[in-house]
A and B are shown apart, each in its own frame.
Chain A
Amino acid sequence: MTRTFADTKMISAIVVTHGRLGAEFVATAHKILGDFSGVYSLSNEDKTPQMLAEEIEHIMDHGGSDDAFILLVDFLYGSCGHATLAVERNHRNVHVVSGVNLPMLLAFLNKRNEVPFARLPAELAARGRDSIQSVDTDQL
C-alpha cells in the first residue's frame, strides 16, 4: 500500500542556516509564542554539506517513522541548500523551503496542525514572501 502524506503524525521543522541565525530564529519564536516542541536549528559553520546532511538525518532519526519534516533554509545556493536538498531527495516525508524569515517560522508553528503536509511548504513560502514589502507610510 502506498502511504500518503496524510498519514504523517507530527510535522517538525529544522531551521538550517549560516552562523547562529537559525538558533536565534527559534529562540525569538519562543519569546513570541512561548513553549513549543519539534523545532530544531542547525548551523553550517565549520561543516561540509555532507556533515550537515548527517546532522539533519540524526535529528530526524529521533522522530517517529510517520513524522514529517520541513527544512527551513536561509540561503538555498550554498551548503545549507546542498545539505537539505540531499536529505529531501532520500526521504518522502521531507520538504525544503528556502528564504526562512521570522513570519515564515511563526506561520509554521501556527499552521502545522491545521494544514496537510502536502500543502504546508507552499503556504510557508507564500507567508514568508508576503511579509517582504517595501513600506510607504502614506499607503498604510
Chain B
Amino acid sequence: MAVKLARIDDRLIHGQVILGWVPSVKPDRIVVANDRVAGSDWERKFYSSCVPPEVNVSFATVAEAARQISADLYQTEQLIVLLESAQDTLALIGGGVELKEVNVGGLHYREGSVELLPFVFLVHEERNALRELVKRGVTLSAQDVPSNPAKIINSLVV
C-alpha cells in the first residue's frame, strides 16, 4: 500500500485538498473513507466533480476502505486517504491499514468542543481517539495546507 497522505478533515474533499494537497502530494487516487458519503449518490457525484480528471477517486465505508487498502487493491497507486474524524481513522487502522503519520487538517467547532488550534476543535470522544492513535505509534501532524508549517500535536492530546 502507498498511502502518501492520510488526512482528518470534516469537510473531506474541498479547496484546501484540491488546490493545496493534490499539487503537493501528486496522488494517483483520492480515497474518501466515509460511511455516509459511501451511501449517498449525490454526495459521491458532487465530490467526484471536485477532483481534477487526472486523479482517480473512490468512495468506500471506513471498513471497506480498510479492506481495500490493506489488501493492496491500490498497490500501484499513490493515495490520499480522507477521513472525517479521528474515530474513523482509528477504525481504519483497526481494519489493518498501517499509518505512521496522520495529517490533522480540519475539525471544526461543535457543541462542547475545545480549541486545540484555530482549525482543530476536539470533543471528548475525538480527543480519546487521537490519544489512542498516539498510543499506536501514529504521529499526528496538524497542518491545514502544505504552505503552512506542520505542528506535531501528539503531546497535546495525551
A→B interface (CB under 8 Å): 18, 46-49, 51, 75, 77-79, 81-82, 85, 89
Contact = CB atoms under 8 A, between A and B. Distances in A.
B46 A85 contact: yes
Contact of A81 (B10, B46, B108, B109): B46
B42 A78 contact: no
B18 A77 contact: yes
A46 B11 CA distance: 11
Interface of B: 10-11, 14-15, 18, 42-43, 46, 49-50, 108-109
B46 A46 contact: no
A79 B42 contact: no
A75 B42 contact: no
Contacts of B15: 18, 75, 77-78
A48 B46 contact: no
A46 B18 contact: no
Contacts of B43: 82
B44 to A, nearest CB: 12
* Residue in A18, A82, A85 whose Cβ sees the most chain B Cβ within 10 Å: A82
Contact of A47 (B18, B50, B108): B108
Contact of A78 (B10, B50, B108): B50
A89 B109 CA distance: 25
Contacts of A79: 11, 14
B108 A48 contact: yes
27 contacts: A46-B108, A46-B109, A48-B10, A48-B11, A48-B108, A49-B11, A51-B108, A77-B14, A77-B15, A77-B18, A77-B49, A77-B50, A78-B11, A78-B14, A78-B15, A78-B18, A78-B50, A79-B11, A79-B14, A81-B46, A81-B50, A82-B11, A82-B14, A82-B43, A82-B46, A85-B46, A89-B42
Nearest to A77: B50
Contacts of B11: 48-49, 78-79, 82
B33 to A, nearest CB: 17
A77 B49 CA distance: 7
Nearest to B16: A78
Contacts of A48: 10-11, 108
Contacts of B42: 85, 89
Contacts of B18: 77-78
B134 to A, nearest CB: 24
